[in-house]
């Protein structure tokens, strides 16, 4: 799970979903703007989860450090 700041509506959830699904190895994304939680299910081909943080930050969101599981 990632804790993401800057989500304020359902449109943000959809944008995050679209951004992360373009990453090879991402199998499923669930974003909740009310809690700031983004759950990402990944396959074994995605060994560097840092790419997820990078993509979210490039899209204008802030990922809270230490919130990744």
In tens, the pLDDT along 15-49 reads: 999 999 999 999 999 999 999 999 999 999 998 98
Name the one residue in this structure whose structure tokens are 């919130």.
67
Q: How far, in Å, CA of 36 to CA of 30, rounded?
A: 11
* Global pTM exceeds 0.85: yes
Reduced to 3 states (helix: H, G, I; strand: E, B; else coil), residue 1 is coil
66: pLDDT confidence band, cut at 50, 70 and 90? Answer: low
pLDDT attached to residue 67: 52
DSSP 4-54: EE---SHHHHHHHHHHHHTSTTEEEEEEETTTTEEEEEE-TT---THHHHH
CA distances from 58 to 8, 16, 44 (A): 17, 11, 24
């Amino acid at each position: 799970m990632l804790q993401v700041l800057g989500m304020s509506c359902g449109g943000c959830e959809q944008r995050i979903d679209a951004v992360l699904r373009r990453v090879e190895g991402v199998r499923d994304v669930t974003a909740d703007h009310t809690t700031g939680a983004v759950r990402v299910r990944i396959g074994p081909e995605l060994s560097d989860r840092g790419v997820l943080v990078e993509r979210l930050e490039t899209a204008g969101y802030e990922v809270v450090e230490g919130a990744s599981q």
